[in-house]
Amino acid sequence: MGLWVVLAILTALAVLSVLVPLTRSRAAAAGAEASDVAVYRSQLREIDAELARGLLDPREAEAARLEIGRRLLAADRAAQAHSAAVRPLPRGLVAAVIVAVPLLSVGLYLAGGAPGYPDQPLSARLQKPVEDQDYAILIARVEEHLAANPRDGQGWEVLAPVYMRLGRFEDAARAWHNAIQFSGATAAREANFGEALVALDDGMVSETARAAFERALASEPGNAKARFFLAVAAEQDGDTAGAAAQWRALLADSPPDAPWRGAVAHRLAALEAGADATAAAPGPSAADVAAAGAMTAEERARMISDMVAGLAARLAEDGRDLDGWLRLARAYVVLGTPDKARDALASARRNYPDDAEAGARIEAAERELGLGS
């Protein structure tokens, strides 16, 4: 409400600034004409006084009277004409206009405008769903701003996630790089920069991306995104044991409702199932690797299920493999069958009835996988 009062006062002042000069100009004109009439009448009185004192010849006095009288009549006619044709604005009318114009303006805006519409900052608009936004216009405006202000690190940071959502990974990587350069390095910015580079390289963790994740961890040792992708890098380097250890550590450190737990558990289950299948059978050929890379998501899920089934069959024959039972339980959780995961851990207990260390590991796995009763 305070804003509307201020706007009404400003409007009233604007109207007043227009009306007052008009009123003053009319009054000044009328005053000037009345003053001329008074001057001429005063001159007539002075002529009569000088004639009485003998200072003025009668003929000269008569001629002066005629000239001043002519001017007096002309000035009087002009004053009367002006009074009849142009009159000052009444004060009541001026006051009414000053009050009515702001009230009418505010009323029309309240009726047809949107005074209650909330602010729409750029960051909030860019977080809306794609279907609710004209992203082309928004992005063009931000890009135009950044073209004129290339050192605006905050602007680059706002734009980078939008590029990622639209699949413009090269632009996203450049935007995060600029955000780091102009706003300073933080763990989140470094991790997001590395993620954009990984997306740009079709899932491969390059040396540049690895360095970004390492800088993120140096700044924030618990950064989940950096830990996730460094585990991916270890897996890509062939260090499956190191990758699995990093997956487990990340799961152990993550809260139960962490959004990345599912992805981590899925990668760990696939890694462990694949490692167990490799130990029980000859290694995959180059053709097998190429075929796996070309699989759809459903085909890869089916392949993982087959690996899990092979692991379960082997453990059914020889249950003295605690790591195998733990891998099997994780794989079942990833596949969405927690009951089978509980059965796997129960089988592990039966195979290690008197082993306190094994029991502690089984209990830790239950807590990690959320399988406790």
Q: What is the pLDDT of residues 210-237, one digit of tens each?
A: 999 999 999 999 999 999 999 999 988 8
pLDDT bracket for residue 273 (50, 70, 90) = low
Q: What does the pLDDT average to over 330-338?
A: 77
Q: Amino acid identity, residue 83?
A: S
The pLDDT of residue 212 is 95
- CA-CA distance, 47 to 57, in Å (whole number)? 10
3-state class (DSSP) for residue 284: coil
The pLDDT of residue 244 is 87
Of residues 85 and 13, more confidence is placed in 13
- For 88: left if phi > 0, alpha if psi spans -120 to 50, otherwise beta; the answer is beta
- Quick: pLDDT tens for 7-48: 667 766 776 666 565 555 444 445 555 566 677 677 767 777
The pLDDT of residue 177 is 95
- Quick: pLDDT tens for 139-170: 888 888 899 999 999 999 989 998 888 888 99
For residues 265 and 330, is the Cβ–Cβ distance under 8 A?
yes
- CA-CA distance, 154 to 189, in Å (whole number)? 11
pLDDT bracket for residue 194 (50, 70, 90) = very high
For residues 97 and 15, is the Cβ–Cβ distance under 8 A?
yes
Q: Report the 10 Å Cβ neighbour count for 252.
A: 10
- CA-CA distance, 224 to 238, in Å (whole number)? 21
pLDDT bracket for residue 282 (50, 70, 90) = very low
Q: Please give the distance of CA 128 from its chain centroid, rounded to a whole number.
A: 9
Q: Amino acid identity, residue 337?
A: T
3-state class (DSSP) for residue 336: coil
The pLDDT of residue 82 is 57
pLDDT bracket for residue 50 (50, 70, 90) = confident
The pLDDT of residue 8 is 63
Mean pLDDT for the chain overall? 75
The pLDDT of residue 336 is 73
Least confident of 98-102, 181-185, 193-197, 221-225: 98-102
For residues 160 and 179, is the Cβ–Cβ distance under 8 A?
yes
Residue environment code for 184-219, b if the CB has 16+ CB neighbours within 10 A, otherwise e = ebbbbbbbbbbbbbbbbeeeebeeebbebbebbbeb
Of residues 293 and 170, more confidence is placed in 170
Q: Amino acid identity, residue 73?
A: L
- CA-CA distance, 243 to 233, in Å (whole number)? 8
Which letter does DSSP use for residue 281 in this model?
S
Spell out the domain ranges in the chain: 2-112, 239-373
- Quick: pLDDT tens for 110-137: 666 665 666 555 555 545 554 444 567 7
pLDDT bracket for residue 322 (50, 70, 90) = confident
The pLDDT of residue 185 is 94
For residues 175 and 207, is the Cβ–Cβ distance under 8 A?
no
Q: Is a pLDDT exceeding 70 seen at residue 204?
A: yes
pLDDT bracket for residue 196 (50, 70, 90) = very high
Q: What does the pLDDT average to over 238-267?
A: 84
